[in-house]
Structure 1
């Protein structure tokens, strides 16, 4: 079942009554949210220092068999902050941080922000041109690299900015390897520093940047989005306290990479806001996930949608509900698996939210409703969108118009002093995301690039990315809906849907790339065809399907569609062949060179 078109007042009232016992935590979050002001002298580092003073022995971090108390975490961050300061790292400078998930990553981040500097969170899967591009985007004062990424760094070292030649730092990983000659041992150097709180921390204001978070790069080279202490604190108050309702007794398990906002902003903010514990896994593992959650006695975890699908696809176990998880937080959980996931694993609250790295507001499922990205009290609109033009529609008067409740449109968010858009490090990229003169002369709105369903009562449900939705036979095709139907079919593990151009045809024909659970040769194409015809309108059924042993994904499980769209159905570009469905055909069949030639000539009906 897809996302419900409307949220009702009755749904909300029932959940409000059920949440009455947690009202004090909610009020604490709302109070903190009201007190969050851009010019206030308040920061992530200051919050850590306060927690270290209030509860120094309370466990702040769990990793494998290692624990850090709040006192210890603050002391290590202080030592590194003092060393970075000795290397002339100042407020506004960027510090490149490239480590996999481990406590040292958090220490590096916290030390950096204590100075008013900016933690540039490098994607640990990047190498070569993409990694060099990311480094050059933020021009870091120095780089802190884990032993585990040195091979990736070796692909760019000869092309790094000159000043970084003497500012490369190495953080040992389990003591397995010797320090490379051109790196300095950051751990040895920091341990020689005092562990008192640096004076700089109290000078940092909320409006200052704290992180650079890189976009996933699914449609090209990554951009560096800016995260401020202000937005981080809003996430802490609004999501961690008011919506998730965490307390100091909670442990939030993080298996997403710490360079992802769901881990570094949403999860870390929720934990520090409550004075709780963050438990981190080196990497996500389907096989170890629940065992790790149990070992750390986690009561919450963060996700992105595909993580939940991987867990759901894993064979059921007798102990699937043997855990302490009561709330999960993340985005991208598809409606087609929402209830199945919730029921199989016994999750009380799926705190789905909407908010890209660069977005200036967040929707959060504070009322614990099903199949919604949640509610947002800040100014936004869902406006009519022209799929063919790939742009919002404007009327004869030049202005945009809102869609009705239950309809799908483009989500845009107001940009003003109270709701600033922090954008990217690239000013041109920032300006491209802004829409002007939308409802009146001079107004400014952020274009999220996302199509959503206006569910009413200030709730939305994600529908599709604007670049992914396409038109075929005069109708709009939402790729997420088709992907969900494909993955309902037995034997299909992953499905990626996109539109491809076919000569002599208007719009784009649907194409799917599938990864199967079993042997490709045993796949029943006739049954798949019948399944799709039963579940989808004719225009939404993919015309072409290719099989791949695995889908290309980013480090945060987002599908890469750029190459798929370029390769399309062309047999000279696609490994493993293509199946296609001609008009009125009963089943998909292999595409031959003769078929492709007829498609190019426009002599085949689709």
Structure 2
């Protein structure tokens, strides 16, 4: 090789050095190009990193849950794991008393032993639970899981006909009731005896025929673990519980909830970044899916402490949060509105996150201004549904955010819906039409082995009514959510309206036909058309009924009030009554509600006689002063 006489460097060395520099520049260019990719993705989608973070978190949660499911196909496995991990950690704090995970385990062992030996329940039996929020509700539900029973969670507000219906539709042969609900059970006791339902009351004894006290037996029972063989019947796809939801049938429907579904719902907290050192404030009813599946089971899945209240209290809310160092609260939209309208601004607390659904945009903003930098995680879903959303970004007003991982695993669509004909719009081929981004459509979720719809117990008609066939391709089947949603170009999901004969008030779904059935039992009422009307400053719709009277009869306000008071929970009682000469119906004799809903309850617009449900006096004539007081916020409904 030649040598450069001036520098003493060979030509081959110069070539090697040149090649190295060329390679280095190439690597730098590649790295620079790769560095631009995230910037390019961010410009196209500002939420790409949030989406990726949520997807990774979801994969991690599902992987962890799959591992737990192999050990135990029940939410009980999550609880027992936490008992083993931190037995002395507070699990339930209730009315000044703290119960550790270990204490909850032992107490549920006692109850499970009594149910197995004395009540003679066994794996696969359905046991109805008729209780309000208290630790015993938690202990009994854990006990039922330990003996492999299906829990039927009854709304503690239901009475008479509705109570009997809920018991019979799930074939419950055992009823466990709280001591304070003894009167409600006694009303239907003759029928329960005829049907062979065994009734146990959670008190020391009972002097009512057919009703047995359990408390003394529970105190005397052993607290040692029961054999796992008692729950050998449990499978992931098997029924874990029945949770009741209102529908157009006029009576509650029992939604079948599998063990897999309960465990999936319990992941909501982990997906929302709830941590093991958090403290949850839980006042939502445990007989609802939000309180039990997302709240209680979510707490067990994450291993956190639960501050449990019998019911919501505006005056005690922030005091409780301070007293117990609460960091996470659950909500429904109406609760958030109550807090904003009745509580002064209060930032002296440790609450960092609120998880729930149904909060309005104005309430959302007001809440943050009053109570500080609290991350609001709005969710969407239904007890029996197969599709849900989480607003993991915190965009004000959105009920959720589309995520590429969710779209891959649980297909769904927004389709065109004709609100007048009350049916999905189909094209010339008979398929439904997907709406473009930014337009309102009916949410439907594809029914697959991964996203099931199990329907309602002993109610094939309503189960089939919730299914849509041949939606996008021949032979497919989708779950009809009954909700009209909108998805914007960034993937945020917004709630628009609810279809069907239900309305939502005080966080509860109200079936109009159930209210109608009770109204027409009043001696003076011929027909009733029940619907919900919007009220300024209130979430949901309040109940209103248009009535026609029997010939020669005047409206008996006292009898009507006594009927709704004795037969309906407070949230289902019509707030307004409108007396008409004849009800408007369609050509197929369906009652027309849309026009009545739009007219509302303004005496300046409506010439028909109207009445207002005044809490202490019953139904009184509706006046313009009452209307103005309601719309201006001086009267709270």
TM over 0.5: yes
State the match for 1:235 in structure 2: 265
The alpha-carbon deviation at position 417 of structure 1 amounts to: 1.1
Q: Would you say 1:63 and 2:108 are equivalent positions?
A: no
Q: Residue 293 of structure 1 aligns with which residue?
A: 321
Out of 120, 131, 143, the position equivalent to 1:99 is 131
1-side partners of 2:80 and 2:281: how far apart?
Answer: 22
Aligned residues: 501
CA distance 1:217–1:157, shift in 2 (3 Å): farther
Asked whether the equivalents of residues 532 and 541 of structure 2 are also in contact (C-alpha less than 8 Å), the reply is no
Q: Which one of 431, 436, 444 corresponds to residue 477 of structure 2?
A: 444
Matched position secondary structure for 1:252: strand
SS in 2 for 1:256: coil
Tell me the SS of whatever aligns to 2:266: helix
Alignment of 1:428 onto 2:438: no
The residue correspondences of 1:533-548 to structure 2 (distance < 5 A) are none
CA distance in 2, matches of 1:257, 1:170: 20
Residues in 1 aligned to 2:57 and 2:308: alpha-carbon distance in whole angstroms: 24
Q: Paired residue for 1:345, among 355, 371, 375?
A: 371
Of 428, 435, 455 in structure 1, the residue corresponding to residue 488 of structure 2 is 455
Of 441-450 and 111-120, the range deviating more from structure 2: 111-120
Q: 1:467 to 1:457 in 2, by over 3 A?
A: same
Q: Secondary structure at the match of 1:191?
A: helix
Distance 1:50 1:41, change over 3 A: closer
Give the distance between the partners of 1:111 and 1:450, measured in 2 at CA.
36
Task: Give 1:149's match in structure 2, choosing from 165, 181, 190.
Answer: 181
Cα-to-partner distance string for 1:92-140 (whole Å, 9 max, x where unaligned): 2211111111000011111112222111111111111111111111121
Greater Cα radius of gyration, structure 1 or 2: 2
Aligned CA RMSD, in angstroms, stands at 3.7
Is the Cα contact below 8 Å between 2:400 and 2:493 reproduced in 1? yes
Q: Give yes or no for the alignment of 1:414 onto 2:443.
A: no
Matched residue, 1:110: 142
Partner of 2:160: 128
- Aligned mates of 1:96, 1:345 — CA distance in 2: 39
Matched position secondary structure for 2:541: strand
Higher mean displacement: 380-389 or 155-164: 155-164
Question: What pairs with 1:194-593 in structure 2 (closer than 5 Å)?
Answer: 194=222, 195-199=224-228, 200-201=230-231, 204-216=234-246, 220-237=250-267, 239-242=268-271, 244-317=272-345, 320-375=346-401, 377=406, 378-426=410-458, 427-456=460-489, 458-467=491-500, 483=534, 486-487=536-537, 496=541, 560=572, 567-568=577-578, 570=580, 589=604, 591-592=606-607
- Tell me, yes or no, if structure 1 residue 31 matches structure 2 residue 68: no
How far the C-alpha of 1:210 sits from its partner, in A, is: 1.5
1:40 touches 1:205 (CA, 8 Å); kept in 2? no
Choose the corresponding residue for 2:107, options 66, 76, 79: 76
Partner Cα distance (1:412, 1:588) in 2: 39
| TM-score of the two chains, using structure 1 as the length reference | 0.74
Deviation per CA, 1:510-557: give whole Å up to 9, x if none: xxxxxxxxxxxxxxxxxxxxxxxxxxxxxxxxxxxxxx9xx99x9999
Is the CA contact (8 Å cut-off) linking 1:361 and 1:419 kept in structure 2? yes
After TM superposition, give the deviation of residue 340 of structure 1 in Å. Answer: 1.1
- What stretches of structure 2 of length at least 5 have no aligned partner? 1-41, 504-530, 548-560, 584-594, 611-637
Aligned-partner SS, 1:154 = helix
Hey, what does 2:212 align to over in structure 1? 184
Give the match's secondary structure for 1:395: coil
> Where does residue 529 of structure 1 map in the other structure?
none
- Give TM-score scaled by structure 2 length: 0.71
SS of residue paired to 1:406: coil
CA contact (8 A) 1:100 1:258 kept: yes
